[in-house]
Amino acid sequence: MIATTVFPGASPSSYAYRSVTGRDLISIQDFSSDELACALELAAAMKARPADFRGILSGKQIVLFFEKPSLRTRLTFEAGINSLGGASFFVDQTQSRLGARESLSDVAHNLERWIDGIVLRTFAHEAVTTMAQHAAIPVINALSDMEHPCQAMADMLTLQQHFGDLRGVRLAYVGDGNNVANSLMLAATSLGASISIGTPRGYEPDAAITEAARELAAVSGASVNVVNDPIEAVAGADAVYTDVWASMGQEDEAANRSKIFAPFQVNQKLFSYAAKHAVFMHCLPAHRGDEVATAVIDSPRSVVFEQAENRLHVQKSILVLLLEGGIHRFPPRSANA
């Protein structure tokens, strides 16, 4: 898409801001670790000083196509776009798949004539990559069966704000090696946090993504550990993360999965193997009594609503970066930022 422009005297941050303009966010791998760090820096600034960024997306039109239900993702995109002065259009695709009525490439070539950005929640990851391949405007993955990058970036902001620095943080994820686990593994290792994943045998995260995360970890000084023992995964962790055992589209498997995943429930006993200061994380929606016990998710150690809040700030940052929402108009950093 649009070529990177490096302008004289650019700071590392402004370089990375500029370098993502016009690109897509389909996988966490679409951003370098510097670009991810800059997106989090901008998100933190937007969270601290939202009024400074009002109007920054004025004149921008963004469409949201969702094949699956959503509370957080839909509303944080819509509220975020609105608060930045842009316009959003929600298209409910839960009754028929995107591409059922006409080809994805024709949809893409229509949208690029009217709209500035596309946000997609799909079943098939390929629907997002195909849209991105054909549309000359940025495409953002708002969850596919393979990845949930906006969630993982919000989770990294949550950990960063809690621990101060992601490097050295040890994150444990227990449960299903799903879209959330895949993006989490990539985001953590890209930013220097180590991750230990505990799943039942046969439910490990995607093999290619695990390999990519190991490569990112080798560069950032982090590590990736995939095991089939929940206690081994959680031992000594600074944060313990879980997600539903049956993702959207896997409802038919829910009863069977409940039996298979039962030893991976994050209850007080399993949580007690983590560090004393450990926090509990969940992307939500949660099923109390299945993947997490009420006593853990509703305890003072739980940061699930910080994660949910940070979806808003991170997605505002992503939109501004990809859509070049008045980058030149960014307020100067305050002296103590």
Catalytic residues: 121, 148, 151, 243, 283, 311
To ligand CP, the closest distance from the beta carbon of 287 in angstroms equals 13
Among 137, 146, 283, 323, binds ligand NVA (CB under 6 A): 283
Q: Which of 152, 283, 293, 318 binds ligand CP (CB under 6 A)?
A: 283
| Binding-site partner at residue 244 among ligand CP, ligand NVA, none, CB < 5 to 8 Å by type | ligand NVA
Determine contact, residues 292/244, Cβ cutoff 8 Å: no
Q: Is 183 in the site for ligand CP (CB under 6 A)?
A: no
Nearer Cβ to ligand CP (108/127): 127
Q: Is 71 in the site for ligand CP (CB under 6 A)?
A: yes
Report the phi/psi class of residue 295: left, alpha or beta, with left for phi > 0 and alpha for psi in -120 to 50.
Answer: alpha
- Kindly tell me which of 177 and 192 has the beta carbon lying closer to ligand CP: 177
Rounded Cα distance, 2 and 5, in Å: 9
Residue 71 binds: one of ligand NVA, ligand CP, none (C-beta under 5 to 8 A by kind): ligand CP
Per 3-state DSSP, the chain is made up of helix, strand and coil in percentages (nearest 5) of 45, 15, 40
Which residue's CB atom is positioned nearest to ligand NVA? 247
Only one of the segments 68-76, 91-99, 111-119, 162-170 lies at the binding site for ligand CP (rule: CB under 6 A); that segment is 68-76
Nearest approach in angstroms of CB 275 to ligand CP is: 25
CB 45 within 8 A of CB 14: no
| 130 touches ligand CP by CB under 6 A | no
| Virtual torsion, Cα 85, 89, 90, 92, nearest 10 deg | 180
Amino acid letter, residue 231: I
Shortest separation between residue 241's beta carbon and ligand NVA, angstroms: 12
Gap between the Cα atoms of 61 and 139, Å rounded: 13
**Binding residue for ligand CP, selected from 72, 170, 257, 316, defined by CB under 6 A:** 72
The strands making up 224-227's β-sheet, listed across from edge to edge, are 224-227, 194-198, 170-174, 239-242, 279-282
178 binds ligand NVA (CB under 6 A): yes
Stretch that binds ligand NVA, among 29-37, 177-185, 191-199, 329-337 (CB under 6 A): 177-185
Among residues 76 and 129, whose Cβ is nearest to ligand CP?
76
Between β-strands 61-66 and 194-198, what pairing exists: parallel, antiparallel or unpaired? unpaired
Cβ of residue 336: shortest distance to ligand NVA, in angstroms? 35
How far is 206 from 163, CA to CA, in rounded Å? 28
Shortest distance, CB of residue 179 to ligand NVA, whole angstroms? Answer: 5
Q: Which residue in the set 227, 248, 260, 327 belongs to the binding site for ligand NVA (CB under 6 A)?
A: 248
Contact 283, 307 (CB under 8 A): yes
Q: Give the separation between CA 287 and CA 248, rounded to whole angstroms.
A: 13
144 near ligand CP, rule: CB under 6 A: no
**DSSP alpha helices (H): ranges in the chain?**
12-19, 33-48, 72-83, 104-114, 125-134, 149-163, 179-190, 207-220, 230-234, 254-261, 268-271, 294-297, 304-322
Nearer to ligand NVA, 37 or 180 (CB): 180
What one-character DSSP code corresponds to residue 172?
E
Q: Which of ligand NVA, ligand CP, none binds 182 (CB below 5-8 Å, type-dependent)?
A: none
Q: Name which position in 143, 224, 304, 312 contacts ligand CP (CB under 6 A).
A: 143
Phi/psi-derived region of residue 6, left when phi > 0, alpha when psi is between -120 and 50, beta in every other case: beta
Residue entry with tokens 């990375």 = 16
Contact residues for ligand NVA (CB under 6 A)?
Answer: 143, 178-180, 243-244, 247-248, 283
Contact residues for ligand CP (CB under 6 A)?
Answer: 70-73, 143, 151, 283-284
